[in-house]
Amino acid sequence: METTKLLEPASQPPVAVVGSSPTGNAAALNATKESLEDYTLRFAPRSYRKWSAGVVATSALGGIAYLADFSIGANIGIAYGTVNAIFGILVAAVIIFATGFPLAYYAARYNIDLDLITRGSGFGYYGSVVTNVIFATFTFIFFALEGSIMAQGLEVGLGVPQWLGYAASTVIIIPLVIYGMNTLAKLQVWTTPLWLLLMVVPVAYLLISHPESINSFFAYTGESGDGGPNLASVMLAAGVCLSLMAQIAEQIDYLRFMPPRTEANRGAWWRAVILAGPGWVIFGALKQIVGLFIAIYLIASLDPAASATANEPVHQFLGVYREMMPAWLAMTLAVVLVVISQIKINVTNAYSGSLAWTNSFTRITKTYPGRMVFVVVNLLIALVLMEANMFDFLNTILGFYANCAMAWVVTVASDIAINKYLLKISPKVPEFRRGMLYPVNPVGFVSMLVSAGISIAVFFGAFGPAIQPFSPIFAVGLALVLPPVLALLTKGRYYLRRTDDGIDLPMFDPDGNPSDARLLCHVTGIEFERPDMVRSAQDAPDGGPQYVSSLALSTDKTGELVLPAKP
């Protein structure tokens, strides 16, 4: 085989090789131009990953500034009581942490998002499209939830009608998500200290000045009137919390920009991955418990009728702020907290949702319309949900969605932990490039559909009311067991369509990080790093090899650039 030549850094952008591909260069060049900043469809190259592990972790954790946790905690506590709610929160947190760890590690180590991880972890090149839709659904549901909370704040603080508040909370996000990771990192880092101050101080004040509120908190039995632990109530509460499982995908949209792991930064690298990856759920669980604590304080200490709005974060914090300071200042700070929190999380929801929609649409149609198109689409769907007053049906919406999220995330985690590391049937190194994967791999695809389908049926009572609360157990259990079973039955034959990508350069450097060696894509005329490239099925005019990026392959409508299958 001819030795592959490395490219020296280009002093200026290379010129596209017009007519070098039967697909035409327009679509590939458009996709390349618009995705160079945020790497919408592909591997995040080392040349772009210039942030330290700490900055990446801070940016990722900034995305969990959402106030929905306070509403979720209050809702399940009011419904099932404090003890059942806390047990449900802890059950969900353990499951989310355990399943999120392997996903976060793969994203940070190999610099790919969850869709790219999913492709090579049992789903196939096209099979992972369905999981992208699940994730996109997560982003607009939670965008709508946070937008509703902001609208509540604007209505209480400024008298803005809720319908107008919904629109404002949507429009304000659009200019902030145009420029991708660069803008998001700065926004999250600079707003986090103020957000922490506004959230932590009132809770600390409540604990210090009203210690009796702790006893009221643990004695609260909720609408169910069940003071002690009840397994059905615990699982119903856990099911609502588990709807947040897909949050790991948003954490990964930041973690894929982690710097290479070396001996010098190993400790900081691991701390960042664990804290900003599965560790997000620690902060999420604390916020849920705090939301419940404040809600019960408002109901028990101020006004029993407060239960009507005790699940709304703006009323939660406003109630505590009013005991600390003048009413006008309390109102101002409550509105500021709500607005900052909504912006911090919804720029992430809009950004991640646009990536998911764009990735799926481009793979299916071989056309790249631009990420901003799907920013608008995602936000319009969220706006419709807000106008439909989804906040009143929060528990039902999240409980249903949790089954889909669990089926997806646990299936991928099972394939990584069991099929890759334990059984060694699934290839250990993740593969995401077109031509290297089968279109659909039944191992993950079937596992997810079966676990989601059965758990949803249980959720809606198809198997009787006695087991209806336990739909999360079915979703997690089936998604954990089915991937290794199907991998053994199929003998792993549907993971890789090819094992050789036709490039004789190592994929990784001596530290095991993705190589930063660069090759020229003959379709776009632009240099890409080694992990993003594959040999083209179309040879050069002189008969030598040519290389094509995964980005260009995704817009190849003829398939003439895709290498033939090779056992």
Average pLDDT on 438-462 reads 94
Residue 564: pLDDT band (50, 70, 90) is: very high
pLDDT digits (tens, 9 = 90+) for 310-337: 778 888 888 888 888 888 888 888 888 8
For residues 533 and 175, give the distance between their C-alpha atoms in angstroms, rounded to a whole number: 32
For residues 197 and 317, give the distance between their C-alpha atoms in angstroms, rounded to a whole number: 12
- The structural domains of the chain, ordered by start, are 1-47+501-567 (no CATH), 54-430+442-490 (1.10.4160.10)
pLDDT digits (tens, 9 = 90+) for 335-371: 888 887 777 778 777 877 887 888 888 888 888 777 7
End-to-end Cα separation, the chain, in angstroms: 19
Residue 11: pLDDT band (50, 70, 90) is: very low
For residues 241 and 455, give the distance between their C-alpha atoms in angstroms, rounded to a whole number: 16
Report residue 279: phi and psi, to 5°: -65, -15
Which residue intervals of 225-265 are DSSP H helices?
Answer: 231-241, 247-255
- Per cent of the chain over pLDDT 90 is 33
Q: CB–CB of 425/466 below 8 Å?
A: no
For residues 429 and 233, give the distance between their C-alpha atoms in angstroms, rounded to a whole number: 41
Residue 188: pLDDT band (50, 70, 90) is: low
> What's the alpha-carbon Rg for the chain, to the nearest Å?
24
**pTM assigned to the model:** 0.83
For residue 303, what pLDDT is reported? 59
For residue 237 the two structure tokens come to: 């509460």
Residue with tokens 């009203």: 210
Q: How far, rounded to the nearest angstrom, does the alpha carbon of residue 166 sit from its chain's CA centroid?
A: 23
In this predicted structure, the answer to whether residue 42 has a pLDDT above a threshold of 90 is no
Residue 422: pLDDT band (50, 70, 90) is: very high
Say how many residues make up the chain: 567
Report residue 492: phi and psi, to 5°: 70, 15
pLDDT digits (tens, 9 = 90+) for 59-106: 788 767 777 888 889 889 888 888 999 999 999 999 999 999 999 999
For residues 536 and 21, give the distance between their C-alpha atoms in angstroms, rounded to a whole number: 10
pLDDT digits (tens, 9 = 90+) for 272-306: 999 999 999 999 999 999 989 988 888 877 655 55
Residue 17: pLDDT band (50, 70, 90) is: very low
Higher pLDDT, 142 or 476: 476
Q: What CA–CA distances, in Å, run from 119 to 102, 133, 155, 337, 431?
A: 15, 14, 44, 39, 7
In this predicted structure, the answer to whether residue 22 has a pLDDT above a threshold of 80 is no
Give buried/exposed letters for 102-136 (b at 16+ CB in 10 A, else e).
Answer: bbbbbbbbbbbbbbbbbbbbbbbbbbbbbbbebbb
Beta bridge partners of 535: 547
Report residue 102: phi and psi, to 5°: -65, -30
What DSSP string describes 479-530? HHHHHHHHHHHHTTTTS-S-S--S--S-SB-TTSPBP--EEEBTTT--EEEG
- Helix, strand or coil, per DSSP, at residue 3: coil
In this predicted structure, the answer to whether residue 471 has a pLDDT above a threshold of 50 is yes
In this predicted structure, the answer to whether residue 32 has a pLDDT above a threshold of 50 is no
